[in-house]
Structures are given as structure tokens and as C-alpha cells.
Structure 1
Amino acid sequence: MSPAAPPAAPPGPVPEPPAAGQPRTARVPEQPPAAPDGPGPEEPATAALPAPPLAPEDRDRLLTGRHHDPHALLGARPAAGGVLVRALRPHARAVTVLAGAARFKLADDGDGLFSGVLPLTAIPAYRLLVGYDGGGQGPVEHETHDPYRFLPALGELDLHLIREGRHEELWRALGARVTTQEQVTGVRFTLWAPNALGVRVTGDFCHWDRTVHPMRSLGASGVWELFVPGVGAGALYKFLITGPDGATTLRADPMARGTETPPATASVVTESHHRWRDAAWMARRGERPVHEAPFSVYEIHLPSWRPGLSYRELADQLPAYVRDLGFTHVELMPVAEHPFGGSWGYQVTGFYAPTARMGTPDDFRYLIDALHREGIGVILDWVAAHFPRDDWALAGFDGTPLYEPADRSRAEHPDWGTLEFDYGRAEVRNFLVANAVYWCEEFHIDGLRVDAVASMLYLDYSREHGGWSPNEHGGRENLDAVAFLQEMNATVYRRCPGVVTIAEESTAWDGVTRATHHVGAGGFGGLGFGLKWNMGWMHDSLGYISHEPVHRKYHHHEMTFSMVYAYSENYLLPISHDEVVHGKGSLVGRMPGDWWQRRADHRAYLGFMWAHPGKQLLFMGQEFAQGAEWSQEHGPDWWLLDPSYAAEADHRGVRLLVRDLNTVYRATPALWERDCAPEGFAWVDGDAADDNVFAFLRFGADGAPLLAVSNFSPVVRHGYRLGVPGPAAGVWTEVLNTDAERYGGGGVGRPGPLAAEAVPAHGRGVSLEVTLPPLATVWLRPE
């Protein structure tokens, strides 16, 4: 927001209409209780005694926003002859002190300063009556408490923890918080800006006047503070920061818990009134470790899933849709406030505020609550690798590199034109660690998917030779980032039972999902994540499936290589938004051949993915084989599922398959109970390159097997023999076949019971003779 200059003679603050769903406290002038025997409000005030003038240097620093302690100059204090009161009220024509029944008019010292000595023996509980010229409507008076009569509202423990970088509830100490001091309600504004010469808070409550509310420094903590009476939830505000060079910038609050709707950029004073109804979900979500539990994720870009819907409107549609598909979780692409919608939320300016594009923070809570009540967990895509350069946000925040490293070669992210965080600075690390905790505790988030971890871990990430400096040991690892990620994970797991952290990490860093106290081959402790995206599996499998079947035998081991390292980390298999944008097309669009073959390949690939060790994630639109690349402007092509569309059955069949995959998956412990244990997997035949066939077994903790067979050739394979465990004459049943007619396939297979025979095959004494449909995956299990 670009605040307008204040009018020549502003009236008292005017309440603004609340945004949709946003509770707002009207900022109206407060009235004092009538004095029973005092003079009436019409009785003239007594002129206060003259006050000694401010020293010229103090006056100049105060009026130019460079004074570190305005409370030493403003407000009330004992003085010779009584009580000295000094007020800063730009554009006022008069200021009168109301002290019980007495009224004392202050002298106009110019530049908005008013002062006088009240002939009293003690400082009273006073108020200010401020008069303005009302233009053609006559004088206007506004009655208020004086912000400069209140003690600091931030305690020594808070300041100590901020200095140490250990304040795990930082959002309760910094930012804007509605509070009550000395029975007066207002907003406590606090800001970390250690290198600023001065800080002032401004907003719609003072008509964006840039002089009236200078803040005080709270010493070595670098925190600035001011309690402003009469301000409430819904108020817009920013901070005017004077840097070491004397230049001023108007900044949004890094700790703001609410924002204006972009492109406006003001922060919003926010209070939560949401009453959670997900106690049952929260109590049971941590009962089973995530790597030993079913975990099937539907990735969503909220603004485009159903374009135009608010958080509350999404709550009426999204939970039922996800529940019907059978996913255990949704993963939301970043919802923290960001100025450019085309960044999809990955260039964050408001780290503590859900984007206002779809409603208020409580509206977002309502959506999460609705998902939880349907038994669906919520994972939030969390961006801690970088931030944009907007001059009203974090970049050069207090006139110096504060959130970013001072070394420009280390600060500038070469890929995205953004700035990296200074993970070595305790307060910056605290800002991010507390932010992770904030989303989990304040919004009941069940997991954090941490974006771009590799760019954080390596000093030479995307940098040319000579464009980076090694660490203290001469290596390329960013030791500060390693320590930050370890602290973040350890803190989240300690404070938030049942929450999982997930790394998008694309390299072979050792120990991404190892506990932080376990040292690995690289000499580092584990990073402490719960899961890691398996980018290698994603790249290799998509490469394989994009080849014509006749060529697939030459790429066969691109599909089997993942099992070489499958148990080096706790993996999640992602087919995410990154794979369906920037000219890559959709998932079904990667498949070769005609439309029937592409759909068949799509279904077979999903069957292979759901059976492969590791959890799975699928981006919206791919559950019904959307042919077009995803666009954040219009979202999924829902019209493909409209009964009036000629090929609707083709797309509905794929969606039905995804629902059945999830249904069978969740009911089959063999598919998730030992995802991260070698005992949960065994190849039957991983070398059938000429046949384009992959056959393997999955085992639950009780040893119960499931056989998964994928035939990625367009040929029906009759009488295909596969070795299986178990006694001869055992009976196996087909539990899923991606070629079933209900999914749009040809219906090839043997859905009836299959008798195991005492015929050796693949190193086992027992085998099955199966019919493999073309371009299909079949799951079988013994009865």
C-alpha cells in the first residue's frame, strides 16, 4: 500500500469497514468517566506552566525519526514546579491534558510538539484531548490515551531469548499484538531492527502520518517497541525505518500475522477467534511413525484448484473431494503471503501470514479444520531458502543487510534473482525456526515440505567457479544452513508431536532423514527430516516411461536403479507441480503412442508408483489424466470430467483408478508398513528388459506379501510364470488391474483365483502362471 499524505487538519481516526470474514475493532475516540464534582466538558482549561524547551539535538532527532528513546522526551515526568507533559501531535491546533476533573492546555512549541508543566505533585492517570481544524465543518476534537505514558510491554525474558536466538514463540513477542496495559486496550508494536537509528510505526489509525508514533529501542536486543492505545484488530500498519545512513524506508512487518490483499502491501493487526474442532485428529495423528504408516499425498495450488474460491468456500469442496479419492494428506503449495502470484507462493514476503487473496488467517484455519475432520492431514510447502528483493519487505531491512548475508556473493541467489537468508545470524535463524513452529502450532499443520534444501546446503549451488567462498574447512557445505536445518527439525519434532518434515533435496547429501545426533560418512550429523523427496526415482522413471515401448528395454534399469539406494533415506515418490510446468506437459502427455496407449501407460505408471517402496505424491489434475500442462491462471481442466464431454469416461476411469489405488493401498500394510526397511521388498524379476516387465514383492510386518507386476509393453503376455513365496496349491487373487474396463482398459487378465504350483521360478520353489495385460500393472495377493 502507498499511504497518502495526511490531510492538513485530520479528524480523529475513522473506523474502516472490515474485510470479508475479518473481525475488526472500531478505533473510536475513548471517553473518560465523568468527574462527579469536577467541571463539565464545556469549562475552559487552565493553561499549563511553561516547560523548558527540548535541546535542539533531541528535538531534531525526535522529529526526523532518529531518536532511540522518544519516551525520554514525550509523555509525563516529574519536573520543577509539578509534572512536565510533552506530546507530539502533528497537524493539531491544540492539546489539552485531562487529569481527573482538571484540564490543562499545553503550549504549542511548533512542529507538532506541545508541552507544559502541570501544577500537580504526582503523575496522574491522564488523557489527551487533541483538537484539529476541521476545515469548513469547524474544529474537531479527539480524546485518547498518551502512548508515551506506558512502560515497555515486552519482558526481560523475551528480550534475552531474542538476543540468544532461542525464542521458539517469537510471534508472541514481535509484531503487532492486541493487548491491555493498565486497563487500556491497544496494540503493542514490536520490531527487530538492530541497526536502525530510529523506527516509527504508522498506519490507517493515524492517517499514515509518519511523525506521530516514534518507537523506543529496548537496548542490545535490537527490538523497538510502542504501545498505541485505541488501535484494534483490522488496523493497517507499516514501520518507517531510518537506517544508519539517515535514509528512510517504509516496511511491512516481517512478523505480521495478517496482510492486505496484494498488490497492496500493508500489514494487518490480527487476532484469532477460530475455535478448533479437530481434537480427535490432533490426538491420534502421531500414533504411528509416518514412515511406517500409509501416506498418500495430493498436492494442491489452492488459488487455482477451483479459481476464485475463498478458504471457506474451498472448505466446502476440497475435503470431500480428497476423501473420495482416498488420499491421506494434502500438500498445499506455499500459502504464506507473496506479492507475485506467478511465483506460486515461492517468493515469500509475509512469512507469518497466510495469503489474503483467499481470506483471513481464521478462514485458513477453518479450511485446515475441515480437512482434519474428514481425516485428511495437511502438509504446508515451506520456503526458507530465499526471499524477494522488494524494498518494502526483508531486503536490506534496517538499512543494512540484516536477513541476508553481508557478502553479496553469498546473499544473491543466482537462479531466482532473490536473496538467501543469513543462517549464521542467531536472530535470523530464530525467525525461521519459530516460523516453522508457528505454522504447526497456530494452524495445526501436520507437516512441512521444505523447499529447495539443496540450494541451502551448498555454498557453490548454481555458482560458477570463483563465484563462491569455501567454508572454514575449505569445503562447499554451508555449515550455518546445516545447523539451521538441524535446529528447525529438532525443534519441530520436540514441540509438535505427529508433525513430519519433508525435504525437497535433489543431491546425494548423506543423512537427510537421519537423526541429528547420528554422524554420517560426511562427518555431519543427520539433518533430521522425516522424509525426503526421491528426485532420482522421479527423474529416472519419467525418463523411462517417455520412451516408445520398443526402446524401453534399453532403459530398463532406469526403473530398477532406485532400489539400489531405496533404503539410504526415508523416501517419498513425487510427481509434483514441477513435473507438469515449463513446457514439460502433463503426466499423460509424456507418454508415447496414441490416446489409448498414453492413458494405459499413465495408469500402469501410477500402479507401479503406488507399489514401489516409498510414500507417494501426485499433483492435482494428474488424478484424471489432464492432457494440458498446468496453468496457475485456470487450474485443472475440470471440464474433462463433465458428462457432456465425449471422452469424459476416459478421464473418469483414471480418477476411479486413483481412488482404488488409495483404497487398496491403505488396506494393505505390505504397501506401507516396511517402506523404509529392506525386509519389505524383494525382486521377483527385475531383469526382464526384453519383456518390459517388472515384478516384485512387498511384505508387511507380519510377512504377508503382495505381488506387483508391471508390463510396459503393448503386448499381452499369456502364461507368464513368476516365482512367489508360500506353499504350493496356495491361492492368489488379483486385487487391482490397471487394464480393467472400469478404468478405461481392455479388461485383459485373470480376475479369478490363481493356484500356486510347485514349479520352480526365479529362485523360488512355487510359482504362478499369470496373464499380463498390455501397458498395465497388476497387484495380486494370497488368500
Structure 2
Amino acid sequence: MAVHPPGCTRGELMTDPTSTDTYAPGELDLHLIGEGRHEELWTVLGAQVTDAGTSFRVWAPNALEVQVAGEWAGWDGSQHPMTRLDGSGVWHVHVDGAGVGAQYKYRLRGADGQWADRADPMAQYAEKAPSSASRVWRSEHQWGDDAWLEKRRTSQPVDEAMSTYEVHLASWKKHYSGELYSWDEIADALVPYVSDLGFTHVELMPVMQHPFGGSWGYHVTSYFAADARFGDPDGLKRLIDRLHQAGVGVILDWVPGHFATDEWALANFDGTPLYEDPNPQRGWHKEWGSHIFNFGRNEVRNFLYANAVFWLEEFHADGLRVDGVASMLYLDYAREHGEWSPNKDGGRENLEAVQFLQEMNATVYKRVPGIVTIAEESTAWPGVTGPTSEGGLGFGFKWNMGWMHDSLNYVAKDPLYRSHHHGQMTFSLVYAFAENYVLPISHDEVVHGKGSLLRKMPGDRWQQLANLRAYLAFMWAHPGKQLLFMGCEFGQESEWAESRELDWWLLEHPEHSGVHAMVRDMNAVYRGSGALWGRDNDPSGFQWVDANDAGRNTFSFVRRAPGQPDVVCVANFAGTPHEGYRLGLPSDGTWSEMLNTDAASYSGSGVGNLGSVTATKGDHHGQPAYADIVVPPLATVWFRKES
């Protein structure tokens, strides 16, 4: 069995010294591919640039013939027939003179005897949609984020501040002509904007190549290629590099559960259902109209988890938010009786998908310390963030969909009726520490007729904006990390649509710039207050002061962490202020009003506590001290104990 030649490092060709073709992949590579254990698959398959040209390698085990057709040969694939490497299912040819940027496709005579052109599943660059050829690529980017990566290696995101700004790059900002920004133009605008607002991370909706913009990137055709609509792959690297140098982490949306049906991509790749599960009860997602990966096949699982490693290592992403995990876990997801079959144990769990998710998480956490994986998982599946060694799925975080649904349902009601639904805002604390949670107000909540976050709020415009500010501050103080979709930070008025940019003109109005200023100040206070995030996943980091004040639509609680001053949050979702509100506090002395969403500077009514309150000893709400405070209408106030 071949081994790495002396001096061979990751990313270089690992050739078989017994082969007459010095550019063919070596026996060790082929062995690992066959076993589904090649963690650096992108360094072996696809278009590998050499000094003399490009070596093309593709996995197509059931194909009868394979050619590479490229623009350098007038798309005549017969000039470059590929050789099958025995027993591996990998085909290979070296093309002299084919260089970076060259367009190509694989031409396969499949197991069905039909010829078809396919994009390269491992392509790292693709033609701009709707064109579909792959392109030869080799990165020239020189990273400048060493300090960020060094700090990340020793980080534990679960115990750190994390407020994330979710972005759909194609509709965040556009040129007046409607043309998309390039990667560099996005960086010029997004990096200072997010830095000023104080978010710790951005989460980018899928940046992998997809032909239909209306899918928002969730129907992928080239898993290893950055979206060519914005430029070449190095442009995305520059964007991430600049965010890192500005102190902002980057989470990428990742879609391993299903893939696009385009005939030139992965579907029926070698004349057989190669990447998709051949069982139609498992291989077709009728809700989304897409193919489902065959998680029971070693090579397919390898393709996917190597892809996860690729984005984390080659693009320095700080984490992956995994889309649609619930759809992967259950065989009966979106299926009626008779449309699914149980697993070998008679259950509805997709055991092969579970194995894949565990393998993926174990692999990326082993290889890239300090990153995080986040599951969009909406059910009560146990141990989503539990360690794989104990049967858990191994994610770092899980989206708290229950909190999202309950809290949005509550704030959508008129304050007159909120007292009857008080438990919708307190129930999340029953299970808040069962998993490591992210509180998501994502794109899914402001589209398809749901209206913007602002428009969900009842009342006139002043009340809507006040509700929005109060809700965001309640969310930021609640246990868990935060995710907020773009536009919500300034009170986007219209529902989000991927075809147009955000309503940036709203920032010219003081009531909307006030929301923006409040979010900026809130992030700054949040990041500087360890009590608000240091024990997000530990019950000792949270204590109710009063969870039962339904009559006044008010909630109060303490957040704490070792070595940090306690923070007390009071949220009033009533339309009237509460004067002389007696609030139990953990200790006597001075408590500063560190955030008040009703401040005049945020276009609020200016009701407050003149910067601080003084607590005296005496039992109240089960606390050893109390203070009589003013709670503004439709507002959230944070207090911090001064030493």
C-alpha cells in the first residue's frame, strides 16, 4: 500500500509509485475512498492542478465509460477518455495544458447505456448559474487571520458570548441596477456594519453553488464550490478573512439532508441512484421536491463529512448550521402511513442518518478545535447536543424552535390578552438546560406570508417598535445564544423577499434608527456582561425573580456566572408603565440601569430610573433585598449590581 512520499503535505498529489501514470491517485487514497474514511477527499478527487495541466478524478463506480469534456478541446470528450482505477470506482485522466479557470464536465455512459454530461461533484469552482459547467481552480489566497485562529483553538463557544446576525447575501444589499454585490463589495459593506452593531458572528445562508436563487441556497448542486454569482472562491475567503480580522466569527449554513434534482448535477450520477438513496421511501423528499442522500453508503457519508471539513479548514469557517436535521432523523418525516418503512428494529428513526451525523460531528470537532456545529432540529429527539460517546448526535448547539414559536405567539397578541398566555414566555425555562440552545429568529419567520418581525407586533407603529425593542432585549437576556435575521435590527417593515434588498431607507427615520442603536448598545452590554452568557447551559446561571406576574404582563429574572456581577432583567409587555414596582434583588446596594429599551435615544418614551436604583435589605420575591422601581411600558430593563 502506498504511503505519503517524503515531504508530501496535505493538498499535494499522493501518487502510486507502481503506476505508469504519475498523476493517478495512490493506493492509500483509493483504499480510504472505498472504505468511506478519506477526510480530505477534495485533495484527491475533482480537478487537481499540476505543473503540466490538470488531473481529473471522479467517482462513478457504475459508469461504463467516462470522458472529460472541456473548452480546451471544443467540448469533445472523446479526446480525453478516462481510465477506471481497478476496484475503486474512481476514473482518472491527466490533461496537459488544462489550467485554472478552464471549464469542463464529465461525459458518462451510465449503467443504463445512456450518455450524459455531469458537473464535477468535487468541483471547487463552477460557472455562474444558469450555466452549469465546472471550472478548474486552485486558490491563491493568503490568509491573514492567524490571531483569530489561534484564539479559536482554545475557545469553548458554549461558554462564550454569541449573538449571530443571519444574512442572505444576495438580498442584504444590491446595486441600484439590481445586480448582486461581489464578494469584495459585500465585505466592504458587511464587515464594518456587523462590527459596529457588535454581533459576535454572522451566519451566511448557503454560499454553496446552487442554480436557482429562489431556493435561497438550500438546493445545492456543487457542494465544494462557492456561489459563482458573487465571484471566484477566493472572494469568499477574503470575506471570511476580513470578518475574522474584525473580530467576527462566521457560521455557514450547510445542507447535507437533500440535494437538487438538476439532471447535470448529482442526481442519477452514473446512470444509477448513486448519491441518492435508491429506496424511493427514503430517497425522495416530497415536501421539498429534492433527493435525499443515501446515508447507508460509506462513500456518500464520506462525501458529506469531508465536505464539512472542507468548509471549516479551507475556508476557515467557525461553524456549520446544519439545515433540516429533523428531516434526516425520521423515516416518516413528511410521509403518510404507507409511504415509509420502519428500520431494522421496527422504529421510525433513520439509523444510517444518525450514524452519519455522529461521524460528521466527531470528525470536525477532532480536526478543527474551537468550531461549532448547530442543528436545526425541531423535535424532542434526545441528546442532539449530547456527546457521541454517550449516544448523542454530538452537535454544539440546537435551535430552540419551541421558544421561538411560543414567544412569537405571545408577543403577537394585544397586551390586553397577554395575561392569559403568560406561560408561553415562561415554559421554555422548563427545558432550557436539556440541550445547548440557540434562540433563533431566522429568515423562516419573516417570509411566506408571516410578515416582518415588526409587523407581528400589535398596536400602532410606536407600540410595534416598542414591542420589538422589548422582545429583543428579553431574548438577549434569556438563557441560550441569539440569532437574528437581517433587517430585524432596524425594524424592517416589509416581509423579506430574496429578490430585493432590505429597506435601508428606514434608517433615515429616527424610530427605526433607534431600534438599530438599541441593538448596538445591547450587544455591547451583553458582550461585556459575563452573567448573561457564562452559564447559558447551566441551571445555576438562571433564577426567576417573579415568573407569575401575569396580571401586569411582567417577567423578572436573574442571570449569573462565576466572578461576574449579577444581572437582573425586567420585561414589561403591558401597554402601561408600572410605577413603584417592588422588585426582589439578590443583594442590597446600587444597581445600575445598564439597558432600558424605552430610552428616548431609542425613540422610546424616556421612562426610567435615572440610571440606577438602590436596594435595601428585606425579603421579597424570595430575594434578600428589594427596590421600588419604574418599569416602562412595552419595555425591557437590565440592572447590574455595582461593586
| TM-score bin (small chain) | over 0.9
Q: Distance in 1 between matches of 2:569 and 2:359?
A: 40
Match of 2:350 in 1: 478
Out of 156, 164, 169, the position equivalent to 2:27 is 156
User: How many angstroms does 1:724 deviate by?
Assistant: 1.1
Gaps of 5+ in 1: 1-147, 519-524, 643-647
Aligned mates of 1:636, 1:615 — CA distance in 2: 24
Equivalent residue number for residue 152 of structure 2 = 285
Matched, 1:235 2:106: no
Amino acid at match of 1:283: E
| Matched letter for residue 459 of structure 2 | G
Match of 2:519 in 1: 658
Which of 1 and 2 has higher RCO (CA within 8 Å, sep 6+)? 2
- 1:216/1:225 contact within 8 Å kept: yes
Q: 2:487 aligns with which of 595, 616, 621?
A: 621
Structure 1 residue 210 corresponds to structure 2 residue 77: yes
Q: Is 2:293 aligned against 1:421?
A: yes
Partner secondary structure for residue 417 of structure 2: helix
Runs of 4+ aligned residues of structure 1 deviating over 2 Å after TM superposition are 148-152
2:303 and 2:434 mapped to 1: Cα distance?
31
Alpha-carbon distance in structure 2 between the residues aligned to 1:703 and 1:640: 37
1:500 aligns with 2:372: yes
1:690-743 deviation digits (Å, cap 9, x = unpaired):
1100000000122631000000001110011111112x4x11111000000000
Equivalent position of 1:81 in the other structure: none
Q: Any conservation in 1 of the 2:529–2:564 contact (CA below 8 Å)?
A: no
CA deviation profile, 1:373-415 (whole Å, cap 9, x unmatched): 1000000000101001111001111000110111112111021
Matches within 5 A, 1:355-394: 355-394=227-266
**3-state SS, counterpart of residue 154 of structure 1:** coil
| Offset at residue 764 of structure 1 (A) | 2.2
Taking the TM superposition and a 5 Å limit, the aligned residue runs for 1:434-453 are: 434-453=306-325
Establish whether residue 706 from structure 1 lines up as the match of residue 567 from structure 2. Answer: yes
For the residue of structure 1 that corresponds to 2:392, the secondary structure is coil
Between the aligned residues of both structures, percent identity stands at: 59
Q: Does 1:299 align with 2:166?
A: yes
- Higher-Rg structure is 1
Match of 1:272 among 111, 134, 139: 139
SS at match of 1:316: helix
Within a 5 Å distance, the mapping from 1:315-354 to structure 2 comes to: 315-354=187-226
CA distance in 2, matches of 1:623, 1:242: 53
| Mapped pair 1:723 → 2:584 | yes
2:58 paired with 1:197: no
* Alignment partner, residue 7 of structure 2: none
Structure 2 alignment gaps of length 5 or more: 1-18, 175-179
Number of residue pairs the alignment of both structures matches: 619
| Preserved CA contact (<8 Å) 2:544 2:558 | yes
Counterpart in the other structure of 2:464: 598
Deviation at 1:497, TM superposition (A): 1.2
Cα deviation, residue 763, structure 1: 1.5
Does the residue aligned with 1:722 lie in a helix, a strand or coil?
A: strand
Please state if 1:165 is matched with 2:24: no
Asked whether 1:313 is paired with 2:172, we answer no
SS of the residue 2:523 aligns to:
helix
Is the 8 Å Cα contact of residues 759 and 767 (structure 1) preserved in structure 2? yes
SS at 1:629's partner residue? coil
Partner of 1:528: 394
Cα separation, 2, equivalents of 1:239 and 1:764: 70
Higher mean alpha-carbon deviation, 282-291 vs 669-678, is at: 282-291
Which structure shows the higher helix fraction? 2
Q: Which amino acid aligns with 1:526?
A: G
Q: What residue is the counterpart of 1:771 in the other structure?
A: 630
Cross-structure match for 1:583: 449
What is the distance in 1 between the residues matched to 2:395 and 2:112? 42
CA drift of 1:468 comes to 0.2
Cα distance per residue 1:239-276 (max 9 Å; x no partner): 01111221111000000000000000000000100000
For the Cα contact (< 8 Å) 1:733–1:751, is it kept in 2? no
Query: Do 1:686 and 1:695's aligned partners in 2 also have CA atoms closer than 8 Å?
Result: yes
Using the alignment, how far apart are the partners of 2:511 and 2:424 within structure 1? 29
- Label 1:280 to 1:703 Cα distance change in 2 as closer, same or farther (>3 A): closer
Q: Tell me, in whole angstroms, the C-alpha distance in 2 between the residues paired with 1:212 and 1:755.
A: 84
- TM superposition score normalised by structure 2: 0.95
C-alpha distance in 1 between matches for 2:160 and 2:287:
36
SS in 1 for 2:633: coil
1:63-102 alignment runs, 5 A limit: none
Report the Cα offset of residue 287 of structure 1. 2.7
1:191–1:253: 8 Å Cα contact kept in structure 2? yes
1:305-335, CA deviations, whole angstroms, 9 ceiling, x for partnerless residues?
Answer: 1122100111111110000000000000000
- Please say if 1:223 is aligned against 2:90: yes
In 2, Cα distance between the equivalents of 1:681 and 1:768?
Answer: 20
TM-superposition CA deviations, 1:210-260 (whole Å, max 9, x none):
311110100111000001111110100000111122111100000000000
How far residue 151 of structure 1 moved from its aligned partner, in angstroms, is 4.5
The aligned residue for residue 496 of structure 2 is 630
Q: Distance in 2 between matches of 1:453 and 1:164?
A: 25
1:738 aligns with 2:605: no
| Structure 2 CA distance for aligned equivalents of residues 676 and 390 of structure 1 | 42
User: After the TM superposition, which residues 7-86 of structure 1 pair with which residues of structure 2 at under 5 Å, given as runs?
Assistant: none
CA positional deviation for 1:760: 2.1
Provide the C-alpha distance between the structure 2 equivalents of 1:230 and 1:374, rounded to a whole number of angstroms: 40
Aligned counterparts of 1:304 and 1:536: Cα–Cα separation in 2: 28
**Farther-moved stretch of structure 1 (627-636 vs 484-493):** 627-636
525, 546, 571: which one pairs with 1:685? 546
Task: Report SS of the residue matched to 1:585.
Answer: coil
Separation of aligned partners in 2, 1:417 and 1:164 = 30
- Partner residue, 2:439: 573
CA distance in 2, matches of 1:245, 1:506: 40
Query: Could you tell me how far apart the structure 2 residues matched to 1:427 and 1:449 are?
Result: 23
Q: Distance in 1 between matches of 2:230 and 2:634?
A: 42
TM-score, structure 1 as length reference: 0.78
Equivalent position SS for 1:759: strand
Out of 257, 267, 271, the position equivalent to 1:399 is: 271
Aligned to 2:475: 609
Question: What CA distance in whole angstroms lies between the structure 2 residues aligned with 1:484 and 1:360?
Answer: 30
State the shift of 1:768 in Å. Answer: 1.3
Residues 567-600 of structure 1: CA deviation (Å, up to 9, x unaligned): 0000000100000000001101000000000000
For the residues of structure 1 that align with 2:596 and 2:171, how far apart are their CA atoms?
32
Contact 2:530 2:564 in 1 (8 A): no
**Matched residues in 2 for 1:201 and 1:667: separation?**
56
- Over the aligned positions, Cα root-mean-square deviation in angstroms equals 1.0
Cα deviations by residue, 1:258-304 (Å, 9 ceiling, x for unpaired):
00000000000001000001101111023331111000100000111
CA contact (8 A) 2:400 2:437 kept: yes
Q: In structure 2, the residue corresponding to 1:760 is in which secondary structure?
A: strand
CA separation in 2, counterparts of 1:484 and 1:202? 34
Q: Is residue 23–residue 55 contact of structure 2 (8 Å, CA) maintained in 1?
A: no
CA offsets per residue over residues 87-111 of structure 1, 9 Å max, x none?
A: xxxxxxxxxxxxxxxxxxxxxxxxx
Tell me the residue number matched to 1:758. Answer: 617
Query: Is 1:514 the counterpart of 2:514 in the alignment?
Result: no
- In 2, the alpha carbon distance for the partners of 1:758 and 1:701 equals 23
